[in-house]
Structure 1
Amino acid sequence: MSKIFVLDTENRPLDPIHPSLARQLLQNKKAAIFRHLPFTIILKESRSESPISLLRIKIDPGAKYTGITLVNDSTGDVVFAAELKHRGFAIREALTNRRQLRRSRRARITRYRQPRFLNRTRPDGWLAPSLQSRIDNIKTWVEKLRKFAPIGAISQELVRFDMQLMANPDIQGKEYQQGTLAGYETREYLLEKWGRQCAYCGVKDVPFQIEHIHPRAKGGSNSITNLTLSCEKCNIKKGTKDIKEFLTKDTTRLEKILKQAKRPLADAASVNTTRFALLNTLKVTGLTVETGSGGLTKFNRSQQKLEKTHWIDAACVGQSTPILNIKGIKPLLITANGHGTRQSCRTDKYGFPSRHCSRTKFHFGYQTGDIVKAVVKTGKKVGKYLGRIATRATGSFNISTKNGLVQGISFKNCTHIHKKDGYSYSN
């Protein structure tokens, strides 16, 4: 079961405790709620100093989702788990819209304005904003968790797939290729690239075999671009036939397979682009950083017969992975939303102004993005509501709950649960 973070009277992190013990401390008024997300309590009285078990934060970075877990290496207990959803694609879309607007302005006949400063140079290590946001999100959460839990080491999945190993199996010695990890790197890459389905018939959720598009018997190579996934039935049926002969009656599928075989994996490319920048960012923390590959992560997960999720993959990163205890763990789902926009005028789909956007962020002590609890006792909307709010200058707020949007809730009925920090949360 996920444990509760505890801070002492001087805001120093202590060993996380069981929820029942935290509930008892709160009921006896020996502790107070410090933060709701992630749930953290702070002690009101100093306790006798006892040895603290350092935890390891494990990170499985991805293009869309990143898994984060806190693991006790000595006991194997998973103390905390989260899945962080990035907003890289939303940033890319916003930059595209901005670029289109600026391009239209350049076409207008306006006076010449000299450049005021040189703002076109890029510093060393520059990354596109959509990629940099992924690193910043992970860095933010590492720093947050270090404030609430005693963390002594970091494990990061440095490479989703060991591309050098697949291209040259002997690059790290025969023990790596022929040992317990043999085939894991290649299989994991193919599963991602071909959508976890048979390339020939499209069947899913069956055991797959690695198949040569151009058969070895007719000169095909072991290159990763010549490999695909096939169910047993299609693999036997194809045999040593060339793919053009096998799919002579299905030219559409043939063209799709040949095109997909040459296409690089976009998500893997984005992860590979940011991997060393993230590694350097984590090293700045001063903690010991362990790295591992995606093939090793899958091997650790398969050995312990665990299901595939982002947070479980994070718990299985690195050679240090112990026998994990994940009983009762429910991950915190985190979505990066950003901090809004400076745009003062909203437009319709054609780019024409449609409505005004207020520059005032705070109304009656609340701002859009805060998580509140509203208790309405009278009127048509009697009930309790929990969710993110959209503020209005009139004091009538909208609340986004699990069951949908609730409009017209007065600020007088709202109580702060969690102030806006650029993220939304759900369990």
Structure 2
Amino acid sequence: MSEGANREVHPAVFVLDARGHPLDPCHPARARRLLAAGRAVVVRHTPFVIRLKDRDAATSTVEGVQVGIDPGSKHTGLAVFTGHDGSRTGRYAIRLDHRGAAIRDRLTARSRYRRRRRGANLRYRSPRFLNRTKPQGWLAPSLRHRVDTTMSWVARLTRWAPVTAVHVERVSFDTHALSAGRPLEGVEYQQGTLAGYEVREYLLTKWGRACAYCGKQDVPLNIDHIHPRSRGGSDRISNLTLACIGCNQAKNATPVEEFLKDKPVLLAKILRQAKAPLWDAAAVNATRWALWRALEATGLPVHTASGGRTKWNRSRTGAAKSHTLDALHVGELESVTAWPSTLLVVTAAGRGTYARTIPDRYGFPRLVRPRSKRHHGFQTGDLVRANVPAGKKAGIHLGRVLVRSSGSFDITTRHGRVTGINHRHVRHLQRADGYGYKTRKEADRHD
């Protein structure tokens, strides 16, 4: 790597022309000068987007940007970068936090309510049998949510920046090939695809990135045969685990039953976990394939890669482990010159609920919500700025608003919640769009 590589830079500002067409992102300092000179106006607060008054995309030179996507079970990383000849420069980073677990819990609760109503002495409803077939490509709502929210943000980025290509991880690792029983012998076992990163990434995910015998984390981990090869153990992925250097040397060729004879609970756990498939990885892989098909439908050039290659790229550039840095390192690349020092954390919060009642623990309604969500022109979740001239709450409060029909609002700022703000002192910055936003520092670089 050349001197000055992997330096951290400020996140870029998205720029639109006078007609709303995307231009190349610019440095924040340049955006401030354009706003101060009156040549630009603010279009969006978060992410920050400006529109030039005196510029047209047809007469401007637009080089374009690319988007990297690292799909995950709970978080998805998105990176906007520019690059030439295999070198990439990160311009903006987004970590999208999914709410698949909340959707799953809501569906489970709905199923229990329905089961209870069917068993109770209520009005008769004729059974339905003709609407149970799932269409081809169907995904559970908690999985479909990951695809939809990711595609929603890809569409937003294409509106704010001239996206020319998308790079996405289509698989973390080939679970079918790893579990097919093919022996990992010779060079493939010692180094493997991309120096063993496919196999190691699978084992790191399955065993929680910790030693299976002592539970140590953040230490070098070796691949260990649960049943030693010298005693008839196979090279299947189901017979492999992770062990720290100390446990690996202490176990050596000792049968696992003898090595853990004083720890029967741990022995049973390891044997059970070794045979259990990696269900979460299979679900994520199914989601990634659906995401890839949706990206292909946009008409943008889509380049695919595996998680093993992403990890190999990070090991060469010295980047730390994070979803956004993984998104920056997806696919084929030679070097990464810089990445944003901060990232935007986008949390899928939903847009409320259709239910007008909240049930208690027995299923009886205990609260009735108003029909309208908007009061005095505001809705819960809007990003607002309140300027209170006098009183105990005097000052400027910036954050998310919680509305009431009485006109007395609460505002959640980064310092805490401020209650009892009159709606006359509140002004809109950005309307609620189903997401919560906050910024955080990017992961520290490791040597």
Taking structure 1 as the reference length, the TM-score comes to 0.94
Spell out the pairing of 1:20-419 with structure 2 (5 A cutoff). Answer: 20-46=29-55, 49-74=59-84, 76-114=88-126, 118-167=130-179, 181-319=194-332, 321-419=333-431
For structure 1, the residue ranges without an aligned partner over 5 or more in a row are none
SS at match of 1:155: strand
1:54-98 deviation per Cα after TM superposition (whole angstroms, max 9, x unaligned) = 211110000100000011122521111100000111000000111
Deviates more, 1:237-246 or 1:43-52: 43-52
SS at match of 2:153: helix
Query: Structure 1 residues 211 and 175 mapped into 2: Cα distance closer, same or farther (>3 Å)?
Result: closer
Deviates more, 1:256-265 or 1:148-157: 256-265
* Structure 1 Cα separation of the partners of residues 225 and 264 of structure 2: 18
Query: Structure 1 residues 24 and 176 mapped into 2: Cα distance closer, same or farther (>3 Å)?
Result: farther
* Structure 2 Cα separation of the partners of residues 12 and 28 of structure 1: 21
What is the aligned-residue RMSD (CA, Å)? 2.2
* Structure 1 Cα separation of the partners of residues 156 and 362 of structure 2: 41
Query: Structure 1 residues 164 and 96 mapped into 2: Cα distance closer, same or farther (>3 Å)?
Result: closer
Deviation at 1:259, TM superposition (A): 1.6
* Structure 1 Cα separation of the partners of residues 207 and 65 of structure 2: 37
SS at match of 2:336: coil
Amino acid of the structure 1 residue aligned with 2:80: L
Residues 80 and 329 in structure 1, CA contact (< 8 A), matched pair in contact too: no
Deviation at 1:384, TM superposition (A): 2.7
Deviation at 1:356, TM superposition (A): 1.5
* Structure 2 Cα separation of the partners of residues 385 and 191 of structure 1: 45
Residues 73 and 322 in structure 1, CA contact (< 8 A), matched pair in contact too: no
* Structure 1 Cα separation of the partners of residues 31 and 148 of structure 2: 32
Deviation at 1:328, TM superposition (A): 4.2
Taking structure 2 as the reference length, the TM-score comes to 0.90
1:303-334 deviation per Cα after TM superposition (whole angstroms, max 9, x unaligned) = 10100001000111112x34213344311100
1:7-37 deviation per Cα after TM superposition (whole angstroms, max 9, x unaligned) = 0011010111111000000000000001111
* Structure 2 Cα separation of the partners of residues 113 and 239 of structure 1: 65
Runs of 4+ in 1 over 6 A off after TM superposition: 174-177
Deviates more, 1:143-152 or 1:340-349: 340-349
Residues 78 and 329 in structure 1, CA contact (< 8 A), matched pair in contact too: no
Amino acid of the structure 2 residue aligned with 1:13: P
Deviation at 1:339, TM superposition (A): 1.1
Deviates more, 1:402-411 or 1:269-278: 402-411
1:346-396 deviation per Cα after TM superposition (whole angstroms, max 9, x unaligned) = 123333322211121110111111111222232222233222222110011
